[in-house]
Structure 1
Amino acid sequence: MRICLVSMQSVTPYSQSKIVDPEVFPKKEKEGAEEYDKRLWKEKSTFNSDDVVCIPAMALKMAVDEAVKRLNIGIAGRGKSTYTKFFVAGQICEGDVPIGVHRKDLEQITIWANADGVRGSGKRVKRRFPYVQQWVGIARFAILDEVIPNAVFEKAVIEAGRLIGIGRFRPEKGGFLGRFTVSGFEWSEV
């Protein structure tokens, strides 16, 4: 198994939109949807035990999977096979990635969004989301499938940052937030 430490930094701001569990954070008596959103907007972020904002590991894994799918790189000697299925099963980001922003330092962005979350569905309401202007982080990926070459993995991660992105309103979904660049790869065998 190979391990790749990927040093990343933001190109555009990053905004998260994790669902706030009403069983964990119930509404207060006579609290409306807007007041609830105002009170709990920070809970839409993922935090580690030190209350530092983290990029969810699966967000990065799925961004890399989508990037390699779009790159459509053929595997030499395997006909029309591409790396897509090998990435889905053969690479994983091993843990959430702290990005150096503490819960108390989070900024807020307020947008007009569809009340039901479905684009173009009708009524719009104000929604508040965590907003990070700049960040840096190091993701640890495990490459489990020997079919995946280092160079193809690196290309997929770079394209994930450029074309797919992470978080709310990312390029993959027609937005412009959550783009990142890679400043380095460090490989090791375990």
Structure 2
Amino acid sequence: MTRTLVANLVGISPYSQSRAHDEPKIDDKESHDAYDRRTWRSKAHVDADTGQVVIPAMGLKLAIAEAARRLAIKIPGKRGATYTKNVLSGVLVVADMPLGITRDDLREEVVFANADGKRGSGTRVFRRFPMVPTGWKATAEIHLIDSEIPEEVVERCLREAGNLIGIGRFRPQNGGYLGRFEVTAMKWNKTAPQRLAA
């Protein structure tokens, strides 16, 4: 049986996204700054069907996996082995998490950043990013498909992900402070085993 954890997340810091997009320029005369001013909302992840801004499923999955790597929780009876690899392959987040807002609700953050996005590389320019204020809320559905992983390990990794790893742009994992969250509620459910596609 697959175990599914439904977790309520609340942002304890603002959350910002920097999705790559290919929105075209108006013409050859549109400057990079004018283009950024016009298209900063396109850096947000938006569900095509509902129009809601979402947290990408992979963003949370990778945060949980990184938390597992840092925590290095040992597997009982297996010498120095840890749950790190188990969590990487055996914990899935398969659905994006709606934030209950649209692109029009996003705030603009202006940052004096490196032009190429690499810290210390030289040229700096003003760049604009979509920002969701502290207090944002989302519900995550996390599938535990590895029977060797105890539920408490996933819970601990999720909490650590919110506290020290974060999600999105300029998160703690990358030396920033955005995208931190706390887990306010957790509930485990059992679901039918997953089947391979025919």
Short-chain TM bin? over 0.9
- Deviation by residue 1:73-127 (Cα, 9 ceiling, x = unmatched): 1000111110010011101111110112221111100000101111001010000
What secondary structure does 2:126 align onto? strand
Matches within 5 A, 1:128-143: 128-133=128-133, 134-143=135-144
What secondary structure does 1:167 align onto? coil
Does 1:80 pair with 2:80? yes
List alignment gaps of at least 5 residues for structure 2. Answer: 192-198
Matches within 5 A, 1:63-142: 63-133=63-133, 134-142=135-143
Residue identity matched to 1:177: L
In structure 1, what is the Cα distance between the partners aligned to 2:149 and 2:66?
15
Shift of 1:179: 0.4
In structure 2, what is the Cα distance between the partners aligned to 1:167 and 1:78?
35
In structure 1, what is the Cα distance between the partners aligned to 2:182 and 2:43?
24
What secondary structure does 1:86 align onto? helix
Residue identity matched to 1:162: N
What secondary structure does 1:117 align onto? coil
Does 1:155 pair with 2:156? yes
Match of 2:40 in 1: 41
In structure 1, what is the Cα distance between the partners aligned to 2:32 and 2:51?
25
Residue identity matched to 2:38: R
Match of 2:196 in 1: none
Matches within 5 A, 1:165-180: 165-180=166-181
Does 1:187 pair with 2:179? no
Residue pair 1:7, 1:138 contacting (<8 A) in 2 also:
yes
Shift of 1:154: 0.2
What number of residue pairs does the alignment pair up? 187
Residue pair 1:90, 1:144 contacting (<8 A) in 2 also:
yes
Match of 1:28 in 2: 26
What secondary structure does 2:179 align onto? coil
- Deviation by residue 1:41-92 (Cα, 9 ceiling, x = unmatched): 0010101122211110000000000001100110001111100100111011
Percent sequence identity over matched residues? 45
Shift of 1:35: 1.0
- Deviation by residue 1:2-49 (Cα, 9 ceiling, x = unmatched): 11111100000001011112xxx1112111111111111001010112
Residue identity matched to 2:103: R
TM-score by length of 1: 0.96
